[in-house]
Chain A
Amino acid sequence: MTQNIHKAWLGLSQPSFLYIFVDMKRIGYIAAAALTLTACNINKDFIEGPTLESPSRTKVVQISDEYSRNSFLVKIKQGSDESTLEGLRNAGATHIERLFRENPARKDLECQFGLDRWYMVELGEDAVLDDVIMSAAEFESISMVEYNSIAKKASDCIVYPCEDPEPATKAEGSDLPFNDPRLVDQWHYYNQGNALVSQTVKKGADINVLNVWKTLTAGDPSIIVAVVDEGVKHTHKDLIDNMWKNSREIPNNGIDDDGNGYVDDIYGYNFVDDGPITWANDGDTGHGTHCAGVIAAVNNNGTGVSGVAGGTGNGDGCRIMSCQIFSGEDGGGASQVAKAIKYAADNGASIISCSFGYTTPMASDNAYIRNQGSAEIDAIHYFEACRNNPVLDGNIAIFAAGNEGHDYAHYPGAFHDIISVTAFGPDYLPTYYTNYGPGCNIVAPGGEAYQARSFKGLVLSTVPSELVQIQETTSSKGNDYGYMQGTSMACPHMSGIVALALSYAKKIGKTYTVQEFKNMIMTSANDLDSKLNGMKKYAYYQKDLDLGKFFHKLGTGAIDTWQLMMQIEGIPSIIAECGREQWLDISPYFGTASTSLTYLSVEVSDADKAALGLAADPYIKYGRLYVHPTKMGSGKIKVRVVGGGDTLGGGDNPPGGMEVTQEISIIAREFKSQNGGWL
Chain B
Amino acid sequence: MKKILTILAVMTAMLLATSCGEKEKKPLDITGEWALQSIATKAVQIGSVKVDVYISFAQDGSFELYQKVGEGRYRRFDGNWSLLEDQLSGTYSDGKAWGSTYTVSMDADRLIMLSSSATPEESVYTKTTIPSDVKNSIL
Contact = CB atoms under 8 A, between A and B. Distances in A.
Interface of A: 211, 215, 566, 569-573, 575, 577-579, 611, 632-635, 665, 667-679
Contacts of B51: 667, 678
Given A579-B118, A677-B67, A667 B96 contact: no
Contact of A667 (B47, B65, B115, B117): B47
A572 B139 contact: no
Given A571-B72, A573-B49, A679-B98, A671 B67 contact: no
A678 B139 contact: no
A677 B99 CA distance: 8
B33 interface: no
B110 interface: no
A570 B46 contact: no
A659 B65 CA distance: 38
A667 B47 CA distance: 8
A369 B118 CA distance: 61
B124 to A, nearest CB: 14
Contact of A611 (B36, B47, B65, B115): B47
A677 B96 contact: yes
Given A211-B139, A634-B48, A670-B119, A677 B69 contact: no
Interface string B24-67: 00000000000010001000001111010101000000000101
B49 A632 contact: no
Interface in B116-131: 117-121
Contacts of A634: 46-49, 70
Nearest to A570: B71
B72 A670 contact: no
Contacts of B36: 678
A665 B51 CA distance: 13
21 contacts: A569-B71, A572-B68, A572-B71, A572-B72, A573-B69, A573-B71, A575-B69, A577-B99, A632-B121, A634-B48, A635-B47, A667-B51, A669-B46, A669-B99, A670-B121, A673-B92, A674-B97, A674-B99, A677-B92, A678-B51, A678-B69
B107 interface: no
Return the 8 tightest CB-CB contacts between A and B, nearest first.
A570-B71, A634-B47, A573-B70, A673-B99, A670-B117, A634-B49, A671-B117, A671-B99
Contacts of B82: none
A445 B51 CA distance: 38
Given A572-B72, A670-B121, A678-B77, 18 more contacts: A215-B139, A569-B72, A570-B71, A571-B70, A572-B71, A572-B75, A573-B69, A573-B70, A575-B69, A632-B40, A667-B51, A669-B121, A673-B92, A673-B98, A675-B92, A677-B65, A678-B69, A679-B65
The listed residue with most A CB atoms (<10 A of its CB), out of B36, B46, B115, B121, is B46
Contacts, number: 98
Given A579-B118, A670-B115, A675 B77 contact: yes
Contacts of A678: 36, 51, 53, 65, 67, 69, 77
Nearest to A666: B49
Nearest to B100: A671
Nearest to B78: A677
The listed residue with most B CB atoms (<10 A of its CB), out of A571, A575, A633, A669, is A669
Nearest to B88: A679
Contacts of A211: 139
Contact of A675 (B55, B68, B94): B94
Given A670-B117, A670-B119, A572 B47 contact: no
B121 A667 contact: no
A679 B119 contact: no
The listed residue with most B CB atoms (<10 A of its CB), out of A632, A665, A671, A672, is A671
A128 B90 CA distance: 84
B135 interface: no
Contacts of A677: 65, 67, 77, 92, 96, 98-99
Contacts of B117: 670-671
Given A579-B118, A670-B117, A679 B49 contact: no
Given A211-B139, A632-B40, A679-B98, A667 B69 contact: yes
B119 A578 contact: yes
B80 to A, nearest CB: 12
A633 B46 CA distance: 5
A38 B46 CA distance: 65
A501 to B, nearest CB: 15
Nearest to B66: A678
Given A572-B69, A634-B48, A679 B90 contact: yes
A124 to B, nearest CB: 63
A665 B77 CA distance: 21
Contact of A673 (B97, B118, B139): B97
Nearest to A612: B47
A355 B42 CA distance: 53
The listed residue with most B CB atoms (<10 A of its CB), out of A573, A575, A668, A677, is A677
Contacts of B48: 634
B112 to A, nearest CB: 14
The listed residue with most A CB atoms (<10 A of its CB), out of B36, B53, B68, B69, is B69
Interface in B81-120: 90, 92, 94, 96-100, 115, 117-120
A677 B53 CA distance: 10
Nearest to B89: A679
A635 B70 CA distance: 11
A496 to B, nearest CB: 21
Nearest to B49: A634
A573 B50 CA distance: 10
Nearest to B102: A679
Contacts of A611: 47
A672 B99 contact: yes
A59 B98 CA distance: 67
B91 to A, nearest CB: 10
B97 A632 contact: no
Contacts of A673: 92, 96-99
